[in-house]
Amino acid sequence: MTDLSFVALACGLIIGLGAIGACIGIALMGGKYLEASARQPELMNTLQTKMFLLAGLIDAAFLIGVGIAMLFAFANPFIAK
């Protein structure tokens, strides 16, 4: 295998595992939000605000991983010129 094939494999792993992690994190957070809203309906608006803020941060972490993968894919600093 060449260096380029390892870079493609690494980019796929970065994006794939990041997407799985973001999906699991948002799913767990959404489930806990529903549980908390059912237990204390008067806090629903506060909890919803915090849930959407955390959902944005979880997605931002995934998109940073996508950006790093694109850096390796298109401007790879590890390939000798």
Q: Tell me the catalytic residues.
A: 59
Report the alpha-carbon distance of residue 48 to residue 46 in Å, rounded: 5
**Percentages of the chain per state (helix, strand, coil), in multiples of 5:** 90, 0, 10
